[in-house]
Homo-oligomer: A and B are copies of this chain.
Amino acid sequence: MLNQLNILLAEDDENLGNLLQAFLKSKGLNVTLAKNGKKAFEQFVSGEFSFCILDVMMPEMDGFTLAKEIREIDKNIPILFLTAKAMKEDKLEGFAIGADDYLTKPFAMEELLARINAIMRRAVPNNSQENEMLKIGSISFEPHLRMLHLISGDKKLTTKENQLLKLLVKNENEILDRQATLRAIWGDDNYFNGRSMDVYIAKLRKMLKEDPAIEIMNVHGKGFKLIVKP
């Protein structure tokens, strides 16, 4: 049941990180280890994960900040915090960000596994399989092949077109935050990257206008939202 679940583990303590990774792998889970928040986010934007285990205290970017960035891009992915501090305020902050669970060190690895299981039982199945075929109205989209299947024929997407469209589709009907998207795809949300993103939005709109039910709507000052009218 939990097979092929890709977990992102952000943990700066190498010993603990390796230990957890080995344990979870032995239980059939696929764990990618990132040594700090920044690296974890870079990994996350690849879009291959369906579960996050985040240490709260890490160099570069702490777990809470990382979780907020992740939540901007994926409102639904389960997040479990690990922390050395048992402080009530921290826990509440973690849950406020949208955590699913909050585990205080030291803990039994079996308990971690049990909690992952408990959360996954309720989590919406994230079909982020390797070879998924996404649907945008009457147009189909294969992110892994960077391919868009239009009525008029197939269209190969560039890296950026593909990344942006993937994020839009995965957040259909929700606002894709401008800043967070820039950081996720461009690495930095400066003015020029923003203009670059606007150019890509124009390109995608042009491609998708084949189906008039599809709209990439702008939410002024916030970001973009993909909508497919019924």
Interface residues of A (CB under 8 A from B): 88, 91-92, 95-96, 98-101, 108, 110-111, 114-115, 117-119, 121-124, 126, 128-129, 131, 144-146, 158-160, 173, 217-222, 227, 229-230
Q: How many copies does the complex hold?
A: 2
- Report the Cα distance A145→B229, complex, angstroms: 8
A92 B119 Cβ-Cβ under 8 A: no
A162 nearest in chain B by CB position: B219
The main secondary structure of chain A at its interface with chain B is: mixed
The 3 nearest A-B residue pairs measured at CB: A95-B114, A122-B122, A159-B220
A119 B117 Cβ-Cβ under 8 A: no
Q: Which among B91, B110, B121, B159 is the interface contact of A111 at CB below 8 angstroms?
A: B91
A227 B92 Cβ-Cβ under 8 A: no
With a CB–CB cut-off of 8 A, which chain B residues contact A123? 122
Q: Which among B118, B128, B219 is the interface contact of A101 at CB below 8 angstroms?
A: B118
What are 24 A-B contacts defined by CB distance under 8 Å?
A88-B110, A91-B108, A91-B114, A92-B111, A92-B114, A95-B114, A98-B121, A99-B118, A100-B122, A119-B122, A122-B123, A122-B124, A124-B126, A128-B173, A129-B173, A131-B230, A145-B229, A146-B217, A158-B220, A159-B218, A159-B219, A159-B220, A159-B221, A159-B222
